[in-house]
Amino acid sequence: MGLSMHIFPPDSRAHLRAMTARGRRVFVVDDDHSVRRGLARLLVAAGFRVETFESGPAFLERSPPRGEHCLVVDVRMPGMSGPELRDALRGLGRDSPVVFITAHGTDEIEQDLGMDTVLLKPIEGDVLISAIDAAMSNSLSRRPGPRARVARR
């Protein structure tokens, strides 16, 4: 595995984004190899740690992700769709934030997607990164904080 460096001017948006993305993971699940490769390159350049998977079942075989993370999942895939993967994760108690991507309209699948973010392919890099940031922020705000202890006399 080689060392990769990203050099940005210190005041650039890309530099700031790379600094804030460090350590955060994105899991790309798409049956199209070129989409997985392109999104991985984009997200690595933005400072994310990225893993790619060709299907929902392939993702489910890995250990549950820990730490701050987000899934970028194609809506339509053979076998297990994106919404089915999200539902399977929730059934396992793994409520990961998800950004759905699709090359198809969303009218027929809106009910399956609920309130999740859906982006239409082709996706602009800034739009995807903003959606990932928002999904991660929303996920963190939904997590229960430490329980308060009640002092008794």
Note the pLDDT of residue 109.
Answer: 62
Number of domains in the chain: 1
Q: How does pLDDT run across 75-134, given as a tens digit for each residue? A: 999 999 999 999 999 999 988 999 999 988 766 566 666 667 889 999 999 999 999 999
Q: Is residue 40, in this structure, part of any structural domain at all?
A: yes
pLDDT, averaged across the chain: 79
Q: Is residue 3, in this structure, part of any structural domain at all?
A: no
Q: Is residue 135, in this structure, part of any structural domain at all?
A: no
CA distances from 44 to 19, 36, 78 (A): 12, 12, 27
Note the pLDDT of residue 43.
Answer: 97
Q: What residues contact 33, with CB distance under 8 A and at least 6 apart?
A: 54
Residue 4 confidence (pLDDT) above 50 = no
Whichever domain contains 83, its CATH number is 3.40.50.2300
Domain containing 97 equals 20-128
Q: How does pLDDT run across 28-64, given as a tens digit for each residue? A: 999 999 999 999 999 999 999 999 999 999 999 998 8
Q: Is residue 146, in this structure, part of any structural domain at all?
A: no
Q: Is residue 76, in this structure, part of any structural domain at all?
A: yes
Q: Is residue 95, in this structure, part of any structural domain at all?
A: yes
Q: Is residue 88, in this structure, part of any structural domain at all?
A: yes
